Amino acid sequence: MAASEGGFWWSHNQINSLISVWGDDPIQEQLKSDPKRNIHVFKRISDRLQTEHGVHKTPEACRAKIKKLKFLYRKTKVLGKSSHSVRTQGRLRCEHFEQLDRILGSRPYSVSPICLLKTEPDADKGIPYSQSAIPDTVKLGKQLNEGKTKIVYEITSQPGKVLLQSKDKITAGNAARQHEMKGKAIVSTATAAKVFELLAIAGVKSHFIKQHSDTAFIAEACDMIPIEWVTRRVATGSFLKRNPGVTEGYRFCPPKLEMFYKDDAAGDPQWSREQILESKMTHGGLLIGPDEVDMMSKVTVCVFEILEKAWATLDCSLIDMKIEFGVNNKGEIVLADIIDSDSWRLWPSGDKRLMKDKQVYRDMAEVTEEGLALVKRNFEWVAERLDHLTPKPNCRAVVFMGSPSDFAFSQKIAETCQKYGLPCEMRVSSAHKGTDETLNILAQYEGENIPTVFIAVAGRSNGLGPVLSGNASWPVINCPPIKADWGNEDVWSSLRLPSGLGCSTVISPEAAGLMAAQIMSLHDHLIWSRLRANKLNTWLGLKKVDKKCRTEQTVE
């Protein structure tokens, strides 16, 4: 393995090397005998990484990474996920799970074969870099396409899938400026994988399947649509040149959407909706018509808003970004290509002077080694920060049932909460028959200082919701299981309340779960993202059904 710079950012193979050293019996014995985790133990780990694997990391970086791996392992184990899972349905991916389980699960440890993968060309055999980094289980076929910063290969062993291999190259101005940047492929691949996985958590469909190596990921094969879709929140860059009179910093609400036709020779000209439609372009057997343009427009804005909301939690402003789409083998339009630090402008604290994107490279009057090193550090900073955008939920919903007979009804509330990534607990307590116990349970939850929405499920005479509302500082939602016989009378116990009580009333259990998620989305961006993507997917579903309906009528 090639030597790498020290620091807190780790590549995929560097993590494998760390795990192999960490799992060694002598190291394990030293760690167990030293409950305070003396830095001298991590100094030994650091030394062995350098001498045995050529990886240069400080003891502090080793300790921080091991601590984080432990956290990921424990969280993944709680969620019941395997090493092959991805960050979908709100569950955290832990691609090193099996290796970590051998250490932390008290099972015999052995080095995984993937730790032995090469990441440099085999000079003796003349094997291309892209293939030498790929495990034998993936058989590459012909090269399908080569762009400025990546190569796309057919995977013969997995029909319908391709491998996107990033290059150690950075370009600007349609490759009018281009330079080699050692290590960029690793950072770009890590960034893209984390972004696509974050979008998968939200529920946005893309071609991404999984990261395969430090410098490549596997994706659905797509016929790419040659349009770049650009979303802007703040006016800057080329927009100012094309729109004289607009002041830099002008804020677009809603975000500004622009389309550019991919043509290097013509400088990627901006296209209007009408130009796209009149081009009559067909990809993957699909004519790109008004419905397709509308769908890509909606997805583009949604992707931007999800990532914008995520970066805002780290006090970073997503200024603008570009994405592309392709048509997969099912004839579906999906988010495709790659999303990395070449794809956006990112300003920490909203300050342009602190930018962490490719604009630093574009703005260089003269490109130097020091300048390229700065750009690479910025890209690594972005890749490392992306790990902080999928935190463990720090909020919850608690369903209070007045009777165990309400369980099936309450389960629908819990399922809806979980759909949006909101943890949900269910308790049984009667405010009429056990007021003191109800208040004790309430005190326990409030004492944990975890933001909570309480949902009261009580029908015949809802004392539960009003009692909770009168004694809690957090939101309370009434969701009475209305029955046909006495429903008209029973519902008033949830609607006619004394002054000073602010509990709302929702009849549908699914709506109660949705309302709880919307309340918690105010401070949890992952819940907000799922709500945003759900709105998008509902719109897309209606659009597709409407198109099918119109098409069938035309055929008849």
Is 284 within 8 Å of 328 (Cβ atoms)? yes
pLDDT of residue 438: 92
- Closest by alpha carbon to 504, among 466, 542, 534? 466
pLDDT tens-digit profile of 483-496? 766 556 667 667 67
pLDDT tens-digit profile of 208-221? 999 999 999 999 99
Both tokens of 408, joined, read: 């099936």
pLDDT tens-digit profile of 402-412? 989 999 999 99
> Rounded mean pLDDT of 392-410?
93
pLDDT of residue 453: 98
pLDDT tens-digit profile of 169-223? 999 987 789 999 999 999 999 999 999 999 999 999 999 999 999 999 999 999 9
Q: What's the Cα-to-Cα distance from 359 to each of 195, 346, 353, 378, rounded to whole Å?
A: 20, 9, 11, 11
Confidence label for 124 from pLDDT (cuts 50, 70 and 90)? very low
Instruction: Using the Cα atoms of residue 178, residue 183, residue 186 and residue 188 in order, give the sign of their dihedral.
Output: negative
Query: In whole numbers, what is the pLDDT of the chain averaged over residues?
Result: 86
Q: Is the pLDDT of residue 117 over 80?
A: no
Write down all domains in the chain, each with its CATH number in brackets.
Answer: 12-116 (no CATH), 129-218 (3.30.200.20), 223-379 (3.30.470.20), 396-523 (3.40.50.1970)
Q: Is the pLDDT of residue 123 over 50?
A: no
Q: Which one has a higher pLDDT value, 479 or 499?
A: 479
pLDDT tens-digit profile of 302-312? 999 999 999 99
pTM of the full predicted structure? Answer: 0.77
- Cα separation, 172 vs 187, in Å, equals 18
Q: Find how far residue 246's CA is from the centre of its chain.
A: 33
For strand 504-505 and strand 476-478, is the pairing parallel, antiparallel, or unpaired?
parallel
Instruction: Using the Cα atoms of residue 67, residue 71, residue 74 and residue 77 in order, give the sign of their dihedral.
Output: negative
Low-confidence winner among 18-27, 83-92, 136-145, 402-411 (lowest mean pLDDT):
83-92
pLDDT tens-digit profile of 426-460? 999 998 788 999 999 999 999 999 999 999 998 77
Is 416 within 8 Å of 513 (Cβ atoms)? yes
pLDDT of residue 431: 83
> Using CB atoms within 10 A of its CB, is residue 450 exposed (0-12), middle (13-18) or buried (19+)?
middle
Instruction: Using the Cα atoms of residue 507, residue 510, residue 511 and residue 513 in order, give the sign of their dihedral.
Output: positive
